Structure 1
Amino acid sequence: MSAVIDVQGPLRKMPAEPGAPVHYRMKVGDTLIPLNDLIGRELQIDFEGEIRCIHCDRLTKKSFNQGFCYPCFRKLAACDSCIVSPEKCHYHEGTCREPEWGETHCMVPHIVYLANSSGLKVGITRKTQVPTRWIDQGAVAAVPMLEVATRRLSGLVEVLCKQHVADRTNWRAMLKGDVPEVDLMAERERMLETIADGVDALRAEHGEDAIRVVDESGLELAYPVEVWPSKVKTHNLDKTPQVTGRLEGVKGQYLMLDTGVINVRKFTAYHVRLQVFEPSPQQAPDLFSN
């Protein structure tokens, strides 16, 4: 087979836009490749042994926090523990690693939401990241619940919710398409009633305007998947630097091949060669019509 696409460069998180289904692009270096059009085609990804920090471009033997070298991992606010646990944000204490970064990423409106990616879960994201965050988690539906003034406050509200609902996605179930139906609008009302006392206490401390209920309908999402895997096998470029297979779908930040799945975001900053091959004669003749 001859390659009709052959590009090299560092992997980046896949850009995605809502649609019916979600529209994905693969980013390799400066090249953006529409992925929805590649469903059914043979791909080959070769890790070429080089990882460069997405912040400083330093050559690193190991990627930390999805694309950083160790010195950047230690010093950047984007890699601080409060990114994973937003209730631990310490900007207000004057100890933020990068106060200017904190101003633009943490001291801005956030959304506390409910989503269905492998069942009901609670999550938080910057207001500007809706619905990108939902797509990255592979949610089939999501609904905003509260808008809050800062990242720390979103974390404190999330802590209230986590006493009653999960905050993590079962990624294997998400990739199998094994997602139960959830009435998110009803769950939102139930959750708001359940955490009402805790939210009132936070308003008393941070101000009435710091937390407001978002009375908006949610969003349903569909993904470009031709075949759902019955068993999820993962590819790891660190252990097996060459991955080949027929692309059967894309969901979250995963490529779903007939040989297994690969989390593209996990290998951010890995320098790879991506090849897409001509279809076999048995495949539809119009696959390469564009």
Structure 2
Amino acid sequence: MSSAVIDVQGPLRKMPATPGPSVAYQLKLGDTRVPLNDLIGREIQLDFDGEIRCINCDRRTNKSFSQGYCYPCFKKLAACDTCIMSPERCHYHLGTCREPEWGETYCMTTHVVYLANSSGLKVGITRQNQVPTRWIDQGAVSALPMFEVATRQIAGLVEVACKAHVADKTNWRAMLKGDVKPVDLVAARDELRRLIADELQALRKEHGADAIREVDDSGLDLAYPVDTWPVKIATHNLDKTPQVFGRLEGIKGQYLILDTGVINIRKFTAYNVRLQVFDETPATQDLFSA
């Protein structure tokens, strides 16, 4: 094996991504960011040294909870409450939020209910300022907003109404195979609005006419930097095999696609990892910054 031309380490974080003709990714290890798109075709190695530190308190933990937290933080932080996964169960209005100030910032703010095509048609919600990041993280090839909603809880209630007709989960294996069939999202949006008209009327009556506003944006198409799509999905797990090696063949969602398998970087948030990149070429010089 040739010597490494990039050799950095630090705690993994969710990959920052920027939309463009092809989504531009960085691998974030602590304060260091390594641009990844130019490394496609290179051999890379990830080594997990066994250390996991909570992304909130920096306490060392043997296990990561809710993508990067130690168990005490997992139990006390609002960001780890069950209503994060089930927003319709938000209980801020009952005065029982674990962290009311956090709830003001993240829940009592405008959310978007959207349709996306990642492994097929799905519905989802996200904070308005997380568009299009949320769509990229899910590997959507196209997405468009349906509603702007006053709070996270109301967005969750609209999503519940939509889930009677549309899936709310991504089939990540199908998403990574790259053969996602096109979906007419505008037509799907219009039909879904018709199907949930009664539920929308009831929610507006309860929460106010302006609590749910229709959005008619044209949406966004997204392309990902992938040279070779996997035919069969094999996964790398740093808990079981702390060293991952292979040729980087693409990036989609929060997954690195290697010729030896795929790895979900977000799953291993807070894991202390060493990245090495091999096969020196001019394009690999001065690629990372602290």
Calculate the aligned-residue CA RMSD, in Å: 0.9
Compared CA separation, residues 190 and 33, structure 1 to 2 (3 A): same
Kept in 1, the 8 Å contact 2:5–2:284? The answer is: no
AA matched with 2:13: R
Output the CA distance in 1 between the equivalents of 2:93 and 2:156: 14
Structure 2: how far apart are the matches of 1:112 and 1:29?
Answer: 32
1:89 aligns with 2:90: yes
- Counterparts of 1:289 and 1:56, CA distance in 2: 35
User: Deviating runs (4+, > 3 A) in structure 1?
Assistant: 285-290
Q: After TM superposition, list the pairs within 5 Å mapping 1:102-117 onto structure 2.
A: 102-117=103-118
Corresponding residue number in structure 2 for 1:188? 189
Q: How does 1:48-87 map to 2 (within 5 A)?
A: 48-87=49-88
- Describe the SS at the equivalent of 2:213: strand
Q: What is the rounded CA distance, in whole Å, between the counterparts of 1:22 and 1:8 in structure 2? A: 24
C-alpha displacement at 1:178, in angstroms?
A: 2.2
* Residues 1:127 and 2:128 are matched in the alignment: yes
Code of the residue aligned with 1:194 in structure 2: it is: L
Matched, 1:152 2:153: yes
- Percent identity between matched residues is 74
Q: Measure the CA separation in 1 of the matches of 2:65 and 2:285.
A: 41
Instruction: Report the alpha carbon displacement of residue 215 of structure 1 after superposing the two structures with TM.
Output: 1.3
SS in 1 for 2:5: strand
Residue 268 of structure 1 corresponds to which residue in structure 2?
A: 269
What is the alpha-carbon distance in structure 1 between the residues aligned to residue 237 and residue 268 of structure 2? 9
Distance in 1, Cα, partners of 2:32 & 2:219? 33
> Using the alignment, how far apart are the partners of 2:181 and 2:59 within structure 1?
44
Q: How does 1:22-33 map to 2 (within 5 A)?
A: 22-33=23-34
Deviation for aligned residue 1:167? 0.1
Tell me how far apart the structure 2 counterparts of residues 128 and 287 of structure 1 sit (CA, whole Å). 33
Match of 1:282 in 2: none
Amino acid at match of 1:183: D
Instruction: Please give the alpha-carbon distance, in whole angstroms, between the structure 2 residues aligned to 1:4 and 1:208.
Output: 58
What is the CA–CA distance in structure 1 between the aligned matches of 2:4 and 2:71, rounded to whole Å?
36
Matched AA of 2:228? V
Equivalent position SS for 1:3: coil
Q: How does 1:230-249 map to 2 (within 5 A)?
A: 230-249=231-250
Are 1:118 and 2:119 matched, yes or no?
Answer: yes
CA distance, structure 1, for counterparts of residue 199 and residue 134 of structure 2: 25
Contact 2:44 2:248 in 1 (8 A): yes
- The answer for unaligned runs of 5 or more in structure 1 is 280-284
2:249 maps to amino acid: E
Give, as a single letter, the amino acid of the residue that structure 1 aligns with 2:221.
E
1:179 counterpart SS class: coil
Provide the rounded CA distance (Å) in 2 between the counterparts of 1:3 and 1:176. 30
Match of 1:205? Answer: 206
- Read off the aligned partner of 1:272 and give its amino acid letter: V
Letter in 2 for 1:14: M
State the secondary structure of the residue aligned to 1:146. strand
Q: Secondary structure at the match of 2:93?
A: helix
1:251 aligns with 2:252: yes
- For 1:278, the equivalent position in structure 2 comes to 279
Q: State the SS of the aligned residue for 1:44.
A: strand
Q: Distance in 2 between matches of 1:286 and 1:143?
A: 39
Q: Verify the 8 A CA contact 2:39 2:284 in the aligned structure 1.
A: no
TM-score, normalised with respect to structure 1: 0.97
Gaps of 5+ in 2: none
